[in-house]
């Protein structure tokens, strides 16, 4: 399968099964669009006759020859000729620890129903978190790198539990040959200087929630008394990032149908001094006033086009700025097994609620049909674990002919389930947005390569 | 003049041989909590490097 598209002025061809990506002059792009495998050595006459009004015969045959070379080298029209052996065991090695099923904001699009997941407000006691650490050590088998994300609600409402959990995990990681990596996602309201310094010392990544411009943020990210949060949060985030040095963080926003001009929000984040950003589309029931529906897609695509141009300008000026969804690693990226397995939800990654219940991920938390067990012992429900473990992109019928399958692995299982009642059936709107983002991301790689070449 | 420039070579098949060690970061532990993006994760297999 070959996917050809134009973005940022580049004609780009992706050979899906090999992973090869090519940048094409116009003649080569037009020739390629007319080809179907298998290729033969000489350019077919009908290709020449169809393009002779646009290009010289030499251009057409030269382009064909170059494409034919790629074909022979296994970088064009490749068929998969090898097995992808997915490990049949899924050791749990990443936890989303729901430190607080409570929140000090009431964001209007919150999938956690105001922070409590519709299950009542609770802070995770340390005893539960401790059991969760023991649980992941036991379940992770030979995996060395263990990831713990402190999540909520708002996890800083359980700051004491966070600190004790880190201390406990650090105290036993060496004897179990583990390397714990902690991350935390916060709305920032409870960030004192002491909290900032603690997070900068212990967290390998911190995700800071902000939706961008003040009017955009304050329309949805509101407090319990319905007032906006921007003014209370931004100075804290700026101070936090200043103290963080070069360590990883993300300013993470959500865009909704109310701010389809979200490139302005990304630009605003940069103006505030942030360099690592992520702005993701909201996922809500289509009946919600904030939901992104099919009719919003053209505007969202145009905005991604705009953001791509903005990012190219930053790169041209040597201005480091990172947008999470435009990150793609074409050289040292994930292996094909990871690309096929996806996010690991319900297998290597699970969520733990304040009561110690285990769910496939944070998005399934509280959905009793998906409860896997608890961190206090006893068997986990293997049938559910197997169902998630086996849900690779190769099992998703709608993904068979999709060129993006090795980049997104068939989408978020929770989005798929919530939209279609089936973790194997992709959520169409998410697919459309993902494909657009990938085209933008790859075009930016082409742009970077050009910049390096002209340096 | 060259009409085709290769930005990335065929990498997937090769990665299948030594892949699957499971040491890389889970995608939802980075910044992404509502959309699945795996292609930006770093490989952490010491044997692959």
Q: Which of A390, A446, A375, A381 is nearest to A423 (CA)?
A: A390
pLDDT (0 to 100) of residue B47: 63
Residue A292 inside a domain? The answer is: no
Cα separation, A14 vs A23, whole angstroms: 9
Chain B residues within an 8 Å CB radius of A144: 23
- Structural domain boundaries, residue A23: 2-81
How do residues A242-276 score in pLDDT, each as one tens digit?
999 999 999 999 999 999 999 999 999 999 999 99
Beta-carbon contacts of B14 under 8 Å, excluding residues fewer than 6 positions away, are: none
Kindly report the nearest CA distance between residue A195 and chain B, in angstroms: 20
Among B36, B39, B40, the residue with its CB nearest the CB of A411 is B36
pTM listed for this prediction = 0.94
Residue A188 inside a domain? The answer is: no
pLDDT (0 to 100) of residue B49: 47
Residue A413 inside a domain? The answer is: no
pLDDT (0 to 100) of residue A333: 81
In which residue ranges of chain A is pLDDT below 50? none
Q: Which of A402, A329, A145, A399 is nearest to B15 (CA)?
A: A329
Cα separation, A264 vs A149, whole angstroms: 29
Kindly report the nearest CA distance between residue B44 and chain A, in angstroms: 8
Chain B residues within an 8 Å CB radius of A410: 36
pLDDT (0 to 100) of residue B48: 53
- When divided into structural domains, chain A yields a total of 1
pLDDT (0 to 100) of residue B1: 65
Phi and psi torsions of A278, nearest 5°: -150, 130
pLDDT (0 to 100) of residue B41: 75
pLDDT (0 to 100) of residue B43: 82
How do residues B1-49 score in pLDDT, each as one tens digit?
699 999 999 888 888 877 788 888 887 877 666 666 666 777 888 665 4
Beta-carbon contacts of A4 under 8 Å, excluding residues fewer than 6 positions away, are: A11, A12, A13, A14, A24, A29, A32, A33
Residue A32 inside a domain? The answer is: yes
Chain A residues within an 8 Å CB radius of B5: 22-24, 449
pLDDT (0 to 100) of residue A156: 98
Here the tokens at position A16 are 């899906």
Chain B residues within an 8 Å CB radius of A363: 33-34
Residue A9 inside a domain? The answer is: yes
pLDDT (0 to 100) of residue A418: 93
Residue A237 inside a domain? The answer is: no
Paired sense of beta strands A322-323 and A276-281, if any: parallel
Kindly report the nearest CA distance between residue A218 and chain B, in angstroms: 21
Residue A68 inside a domain? The answer is: yes
**Is B13 close to A407, i.e. CB distance below 8 A?**
no
Q: How far is CA A23 from CA A32, A197, A277, A445, B10, in A?
A: 12, 46, 28, 10, 14
Residue A389 inside a domain? The answer is: no
Among B19, B23, B35, the residue with its CB nearest the CB of A145 is B23
pLDDT (0 to 100) of residue B34: 65
- Interchain CB contacts (distance < 8 Å): A and B: 228
């Amino acid at each position: 399968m070959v996917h050809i598209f134009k973005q940022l002025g580049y004609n780009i061809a992706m050979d899906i099964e090999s992973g090869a990506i090519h940048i094409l002059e116009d003649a080569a792009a037009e020739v390629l669009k007319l080809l179907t495998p298998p290729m033969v050595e000489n350019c077919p006459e009908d290709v020449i006759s169809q393009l002779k009004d646009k290009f010289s015969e030499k251009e057409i045959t030269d382009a064909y020859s170059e494409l034919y070379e790629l074909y022979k080298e296994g970088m064009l029209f490749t068929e998969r000729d090898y097995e992808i052996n997915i490990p049949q065991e899924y050791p749990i090695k990443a936890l989303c620890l729901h430190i607080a099923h409570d929140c000090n904001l009431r964001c209007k699009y919150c999938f956690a129903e105001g922070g409590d997941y519709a299950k009542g407000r609770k802070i995770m006691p340390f005893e539960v978190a401790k059991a969760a650490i023991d649980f992941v050590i036991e379940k992770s088998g030979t995996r060395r790198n263990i990831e713990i994300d402190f999540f909520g609600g708002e996890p800083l409402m359980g700051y004491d539990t966070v600190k004790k959990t880190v201390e406990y995990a650090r105290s036993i990681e060496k004897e179990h040959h583990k390397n714990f990596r902690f991350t935390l996602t916060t709305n920032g309201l409870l960030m004192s200087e002491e909290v900032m310094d603690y997070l900068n010392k212990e967290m390998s990544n911190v995700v800071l929630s902000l939706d961008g411009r003040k009017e955009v943020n304050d329309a949805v990210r509101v407090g319990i008394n319905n007032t906006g949060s921007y003014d209370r949060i931004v100075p804290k985030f700026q101070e936090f990032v200043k103290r963080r040095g070069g360590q990883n963080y993300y300013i993470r926003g959500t865009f909704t149908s109310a701010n389809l001009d979200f490139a302005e929000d990304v630009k605003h984040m940069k103006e505030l001094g942030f360099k690592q950003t992520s702005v993701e589309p909201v996922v809500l029931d289509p009946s919600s006033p904030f939901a992104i529906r099919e009719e919003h897609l053209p505007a969202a695509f145009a905005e991604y086009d705009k953001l791509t141009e903005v990012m190219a300008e930053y790169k041209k000026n040597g201005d480091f700025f990172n947008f999470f969804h435009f990150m793609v690693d074409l050289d040292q990226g994930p292996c094909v097994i990871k690309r096929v397995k996806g996010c690991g939800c319900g297998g290597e990654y699970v969520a733990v609620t304040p009561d110690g219940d285990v769910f496939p991920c944070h998005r399934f938390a509280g959905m009793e049909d998906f409860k896997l067990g608890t961190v206090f012992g006893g068997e986990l429900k293997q049938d559910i674990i197997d169902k998630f473990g086996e849900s690779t992109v190769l099992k998703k019928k709608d993904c068979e002919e999709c060129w993006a399958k090795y980049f997104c692995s068939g989408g978020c299982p929770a989005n798929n389930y919530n939209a279609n009642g089936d973790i194997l059936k992709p959520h169409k709107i998410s697919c459309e947005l993902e494909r657009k983002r990938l085209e933008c991301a790859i075009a930016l790689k082409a742009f970077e390569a050009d910049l390096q070449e002209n340096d | 003049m060259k009409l085709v420039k290769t930005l990335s070579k065929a990498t997937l098949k090769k990665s299948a041989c030594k892949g699957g060690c499971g040491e890389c970061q889970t995608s939802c532990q980075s910044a992404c909590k509502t959309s699945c993006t795996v292609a930006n994760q770093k490989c952490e297999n010491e044997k692959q490097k």
